Amino acid sequence: MTFTTWDRVSARRLERQYLTEPAAAGTPVADVVGAMLGAHAQVLSAAELSVGVRGTGTTRVEVREALWEGRSLVKTHGPRGTVHLLAARELPLWCAALTAVPAGASPFPPEVRLTEEQAAHIVAAIADALDGVCLTVDELTEEVVARTGAWAGDLVMPAFQGMWPRWRQVLYRAGQSGALCFGPNRGRKVTYTRPPHFDPLPPNEALHELVRRYLRAYGPSTPAYFAKWLAAPAGWAAGVFRELAEAGEIEEVALEEAPAWVAAGDTGFPDEPVRGLRLLPYFDAYGIAAQPRELLFPGQAYRRALAGGQAGNFPLLLVDGVVAGVWHQRRQGRRTTVTVEPLGRLSARQERELGERVERVGEVLEARPELVIGKVTAGPHA
């Protein structure tokens, strides 16, 4: 069995995430997003920054062009049902794998829930309604109700300021199945459309490939960590890993003496630990997926940079591969003030490097940045 340390694992992950050295100029942004296994895009500017800091010279314009013009990226519901940027060419893998994950118990009371037959009917109606057009959510509601029945439009789901129609409880499922993705905003209104038609992979094949890709990006890892990343049942994930182990497609290693898994044969790790500073935005894929969390967020970082143990709610300062602070940016016109709160003292060299990282943030966001080292007063992102 291969034995490895957190420093070596961290160095390998950062390298594979284009966080040690950014992708070469001209690398398609879809390749970068693919290496990340998707960029969380509930806040699109955070996704643009996640992708931008991983590419040489990449700016938010290139990300937007890939999303809305070249269509090599798709904004849709990915892992955990949350909004992600995914490489369009990988939709046959993602949609087959995500729809094969067992659904948890419905959080809604019985009178609000949909039957499996109703849910499937709604997803089919969404796909039909969005084929070749972009619709706002109100327009989509009208089309879904027209294709299914008035029951789909019943205002029964508690929302931020009122009630949503019944059909919206499977909105994420429509995204994960390839029936729906986001279109360009119409003014301030979100629109939805249908991604290009594709044939999904066989479910088992897609799941196994997703596990192998996850282990390449974030391994060594465990079934429990994979389940957490995917919002899947832990017992089900253990069964998938067991199938792959029996087929010889993954193998066990020891990370800091604890058992973990990598793709078969993928047991090489850098000899030197990672050095230097990195700035990761809200919900960056690395901060969410890299485990064990107590090693990535050591000591005080666990209390300061996580919101109740949940990653993603604070932008992260990494120093030598571990979380060592938080940061926040406040934009005003063409300027942005980047406030960085280190959890320990930075050397003069590190402060210079931090200034360079902040300059890069400005380049990606097309803003003139100002660095302030001090207390971040903004709370966790809701």
Confidence of residue 285 (pLDDT cuts 50, 70, 90): very high
| Residue 69: DSSP 8-state | I
Confidence of residue 201 (pLDDT cuts 50, 70, 90): very high
CATH T-level fold of 109-201: Arc Repressor Mutant, subunit A (1.10.10)
For residues 174 and 122, is the Cβ–Cβ distance under 8 A?
yes
pLDDT recorded at residue 382: 52
Spell out a b/e string for 120-138, using b for 16 or more CB atoms within 10 Å of the CB, else e: ebbbebbbebbeeebbbee
Measured CA angle at 18 (ends 15, 21), to 5 deg: 80
> Distance between the two ends of the chain, CA-based, in angstroms?
42
For residues 30 and 24, is the Cβ–Cβ distance under 8 A?
no
Q: Which of 276, 287, 331 is nearest to 313 (CA)?
A: 287
Element (H, E) at 31: helix 29-36
Confidence of residue 105 (pLDDT cuts 50, 70, 90): confident
pLDDT recorded at residue 107: 85
Q: How far is CA 32 from the centre of its chain?
A: 12
Tokens of 119: 């849910």
pLDDT recorded at residue 230: 96
User: Whole-angstrom Cα distance, residue 317 to residue 180?
Assistant: 35
What residues have CB less than 8 Å from 82, skipping those under 6 apart?
40, 42
Q: ω before 292 within 30° of 0 (cis)?
A: yes
Q: Count the neighbouring beta carbons within 10 Å of the beta carbon of residue 153.
A: 18
Tokens of 208: 């196994």
pLDDT recorded at residue 21: 96
* β-bridge mates for residue 63, sequence order: none
Tens of pLDDT along 322-363? 999 999 999 999 999 999 999 999 999 999 999 999 999 999
Tokens of 201: 């992979």
Q: Is the dihedral of CA 294, 296, 298, 304 positive or negative?
A: negative
Q: Please state, for a pLDDT cut of 70, what percent of the chain lies above it.
A: 100
Domain residue spans of the chain:
109-201, 277-373
pLDDT recorded at residue 82: 95
Q: Is the dihedral of CA 36, 23, 263, 205 positive or negative?
A: positive
pLDDT at 16 over 70: yes
Q: Please state, for a pLDDT cut of 90, what percent of the chain lies above it.
A: 93
Tens of pLDDT along 149-193? 999 999 999 888 889 999 999 999 999 999 999 999 999 999 999
Tokens of 286: 């690395």
pLDDT recorded at residue 11: 97
Tens of pLDDT along 28-74? 999 999 999 999 999 999 999 999 999 999 999 999 999 999 999 99
How high does pLDDT run on average in the chain?
96
